[in-house]
A and B are shown apart, each in its own frame.
Chain A
Amino acid sequence: MFTYYLDLALRSLRRNKALTALMVLAIALGIGASMTTLTVLHVLSGDPLPGKSAQLYYPQVDPQDIKGMLPNKEPPDQVTLIDGLNLLHAGRADHQALMSGGSVPVQPEQSSLDPFYVEARYTTADFFAMFDAPFLYGHNWTDAEGEAKAREVVIAKSLNDKLFAGANSVGRTLRMAGTSFRVVGVLDSWQPNPHFYDLNTGSYAYGEQVFLPLQTMLELRLDRNGSTDCWGNGGGGVGSILPSDSCVWLQFWTQLDSPAKAAAYKEFLVHYSQDQKALGRFQRAPNVRLRSVMQWLDYQMVVPDDVRLQNGLAFGFLLVCLVNTVGLMLAKFMRRAAELGVRRALGASRRALFAQLLIESGVVGLVGGIGGLLLAMFGLWLVRQRPSDYAVLAHLDLSMLFTTFVLAVCATLLAGLLPAWRACQIAPALQLKSN
């Protein structure tokens, strides 16, 4: 029966080529546009560390002065150096790391390569274990080595390929910013998207190529990147000048393995703030936050507004395309009232007619879905040509491929429901009489 209905559907679709083409085109355009933007949105709002991100928390405390204080105002997005070191040394979390971003000049030994700058992450040792950074060779520096301001560096695979032709470079020397560093580890390809642990240096497709101990950076005064927020008479510090203690410029991340530990940590942050206030450093009442990775990304509104706007626009567009298809399908089905009347009179049940018409709209949906998929691939190609930082990430994955077809067929079947139902209400006698 299904193949017979399919045959009927194809015959009917062939009969009104222009109308069929218009319906398929409308569905394809709607699906293509909405799948392109949905894929971009899906990629940009993904989990940077699946399976791990739920245990990672970002503590915020409020060390600002009393000026400009508003009730319910969020504490700063980063921590001061002194608070960062205090929280780090308190060691209340399962893992914790204090970090900041920057860039350093690399002077290759090979004279064939000009000096170049690489993005750097200055961090304490727990970073690698906490964020599950995979090592290709060697390992990270230890806490003791970090505190001793060791001239040690962990490099990314891409830099290892560039400088050491991909060989095990552990123990080799790397000259950066006029200082010799010993390579202690090489990371395998690793680039969490979004770049959740420091959104100020770049939200997407951003990866550091060298990782240095934070204490080493503080001693050598290496260049910083990212955001520095100051209050009162705090000097922002420029380049190698360190910001004052009334500036926040570091990120402090913790790993807390259970919700109970997270609750306890939040308590600790409140106590810490109270202690600092008693000491006279903090002026405000305790104002703390402890967000998980996904909460943090949400709070920071990491997905660009323009992407959401485009997505809304595309779905509005799809809606109009569907309304259009409903109208055209209705016209098409009603025009065949006579044919349907004959089939009814010859004994076809309403249900059979309904199935037949739905199959016809399903075929339109399927063809439109294939067209939409091609258009979405073209749309994503266009997105990749754009200079935005997330451009390289815009690829269709398997789940989105599946979503495309489900969306296309469901949407068209839904669009076919009303016209099919209306067409089935036809009284066979009336149609036969006028013929």
Chain B
Amino acid sequence: MSMQIKPILAALRQHKAGTVLIALQIALTLAIVCNALFIIQQRLAHLSEPTGIDEANLLVIANQWAGHRSSQEVGAQIQADLAALRQLPSVRDASPSDGYPLSGGNWDNFVMRTPEQLKPTTDASVYMGDEHMLDTLGVKLIAGRNFNASEIMRMASRQVVIPPVVIVTKALADHLYPDGSALGKPIYSMSTTPSTIIGIVERLQRQNVSNWSKPYAYESLLWPIREDTDGLFYIVRSKPGQLADAMREVPKALYAQSRMRVFDPKIGGSFAQIRQRAYDSDRGIAILMGIISVVLLAITAAGIVGLTSFWVGQRRKQIGVRRALGATRSDILHYFLTENLLISVGGVLTGTVLAIGINLWMVTRFEMARLSMDYVGTGVILLLLLGQCAVLGPALRASHVSPVEATRSA
């Protein structure tokens, strides 16, 4: 095969425009497909990040009060609501909260180790809940203890409450106290009042998982606060496998307590719906990239078939002459396969440079990660195989050209 390369190069020089076009098409396709595959992988990895909570059995109700009530009235109503929810046969536990993982909206606070620090240590997603919050979410407490009922503070007046105790995620604990000594230590969160870390949970996803939040992944804190002012979320954990029952019973039970409330249908719902909503754009982008990649590869393959068929048609006479001079069918087949391989190698080399260039541009423009060379490698192999497969049909046809063609004119 190697001795064929020189004549192939000589022949290609006769078809400069066609050769360059195929190589260019392969290069562009490689550049786009590598980056698309990489983006697909990133999005899929992002949307399969665990939240650390018992997703299969959770539902969230966005509850707002209609009409104006005093904070005492609201507080009493929340107590009554929670008592009713916790008694439902399908419900394991329930907690009031200001938010839930993947809610998109967020309350996050800067967190510091000392009140004098000029620069905050990190940023934490803030959850408020009562002593039932840990069990409701189903997060795993790996050190320390849960809140007890007497620690739950009520937030109703104008001033903001800073509780003396806090439960943090392992990620936040490790960021604040990398030596692993976080339990019992203070944190300062937008205040000169310290909160002592009394418990550490294994994992609790933040409320917001968009790009800016990435440096603080899984850094969340839980404060023992119940907010008696306006709307709130009820997080409800059903008994295993009874989510559907709970979703029916919970709104009914709440309406039985009072009709002066509005459930926002656009937020909350089962956690499966929440997850679906939170990652919808990521899924959309992954699917779109997938479709575009497949169509691109198909078009490139069709282009190679078209152009090679034309070359075969144009060279029937030469092929006939070669056959008459003793070249075997497999020689002819190999000729076209090698020719395509040479063009493809030129294409993928250019394409690799292009792919990295596009990625570097996206790193600066879209804060995207660096392209892993695995994707370039996969793309290169994919396109070389695609080229060989596409050229196989026309090459086989060429190998069947009879030596008699040599004697025919044209």
A→B interface (CB under 8 Å): 19, 22, 26, 29, 33, 67-68, 105, 107, 114-117, 177-179, 223, 230, 232-242, 244, 304-306, 308-310, 313-314, 316-317, 319-321, 323-324, 326-328, 330-332, 334-335, 386-388, 418, 422, 434-435
Given contacts A239-B227, A317-B295, A327-B22, 16 further A-B contacts (CB under 8 A): A29-B299, A68-B118, A105-B66, A115-B260, A116-B262, A237-B160, A238-B155, A242-B158, A309-B285, A309-B362, A310-B288, A313-B32, A324-B300, A328-B303, A388-B280, A434-B410
Contact B306 A313 (CB under 8 A): no
Interface presence of B192 (CB below 8 A): yes
- DSSP majority for the B interface? helix
In the complex, residue of chain B having the shortest beta-carbon distance to the beta carbon of A37: B288
Q: Which of A233, A321, A386 contacts B190 (CB 8 A)?
A: A233
Tell me the complex Cα distance, A19–B120, Å.
64
By Cβ-Cβ distance, the 6 closest A-B pairs, closest first, are A178-B68, A235-B160, A115-B66, A331-B310, A239-B230, A327-B21
Interface residues of B in 158-204 (CB under 8 A from A): 158-160, 190-192
A179 touches B288 (CB 8 A): no
Q: Which residues of B contact A313 (CB under 8 A)?
A: 32, 36, 288-289, 292
List B contacts of A232 (CB < 8 A). Answer: 190
Q: Is B67 in contact with chain A by the CB < 8 A criterion?
A: yes
A19 closest partner in B (C-beta): B306
- Pick the residue among B64, B66, B109 that contacts A107 (CB under 8 A): B66
CB–CB A335/B227 < 8 A = no
Whether A323 and B24, one on each chain, are in contact in the complex, defined by CB atoms closer than 8 angstroms, is yes
Task: Specify which chain B residues have a CB less than 8 angstroms from the CB of A114 in the assembled complex.
Answer: 66, 262
* A-B pairs with beta carbons under 8 A, tally: 160
- In the complex, whether B409 has a CB less than 8 A from a CB of chain A is yes
* Cβ of B47 to closest chain A Cβ, rounded Å: 13
B158 to A, closest residue via Cβ: A241
Among B32, B227, B299, contact of A316 (Cβ-Cβ < 8 Å): B32
Q: How far is B295's CA from A22's CA once the two chains are assembled, in angstroms?
A: 12
- List, in ascending order, chain B residues with CB within 8 A of A235's CB: 159-160, 190-191
CB distance from B38 to the nearest CB of A (A): 12
Q: For the complex, what is the distance from the CA of A67 to the CA of B190, rounded to whole Å? A: 12
CA distance A232 to B191 in the complex (A): 7
Using known A-B contacts A223-B231, A235-B190, determine if residue A310 contacts B285 with beta carbons closer than 8 Å: yes
Q: With A and B bound together, what is the CA distance between A117 and B263 in angstroms? A: 10
A107–B190 contact, CB under 8 A?
no
Is the Cβ of A335 less than 8 Å from the Cβ of B313? yes
Within 8 A of A (CB), among B278-330: 280-281, 284-285, 288-289, 292, 295-296, 299-300, 302-303, 306-307, 309-311, 313-314
Interface size on B, residues (CB 8 A): 65
Q: Judging by beta carbons under 8 Å apart, are A241 and B160 in contact?
A: yes
Is there contact, CB below 8 Å, between B285 and A67? no
- The answer to whether A386 touches B280 (Cβ under 8 A) is yes
Q: What are the residues of chain A within 8 A of B365 when measuring CB–CB?
A: 308
B25 touching A323 by the CB < 8 A rule? yes
Tell me how far the C-beta of B64 lies from the nearest C-beta in chain A, rounded to whole angstroms: 6
Least CB distance, A70 to chain B, in whole angstroms:
10
Q: Would you call B264 an interface residue if the criterion is a C-beta within 8 Å of the partner chain's C-beta atoms?
A: yes
Give complex CA distance A313, B366 in Å.
13
B67: contacting residue among A107, A319, A331, CB under 8 A: A107
Contacts of B284 in A (CB 8 A): 306, 386
Given A230-B190, A238-B227, A328-B303, decide whether A115 and B17 contact each other with a Cβ distance below 8 A. no
**Max chain A C-beta neighbours (<10 A), residue from B39, B69, B284, B306:** B306
**B65 at the A/B interface (Cβ < 8 Å)?**
yes
Question: Are B230 and A240 touching (Cβ within 8 A)?
Answer: yes
Q: What CA separation (Å) do A286 and B121 show in the bound complex?
A: 27
Residue of B nearest to A175 (CB): B67
Are B120 and A68 within 8 A (Cβ)? yes
* A330-B17 contact, Cβ under 8 Å, with A240-B229, A313-B292: yes
Residue of A67, A309, A335, A434 contacting most chain B CB atoms (<10 Å): A309
Complex contacts, A242 vs chain B, CB 8 Å:
158
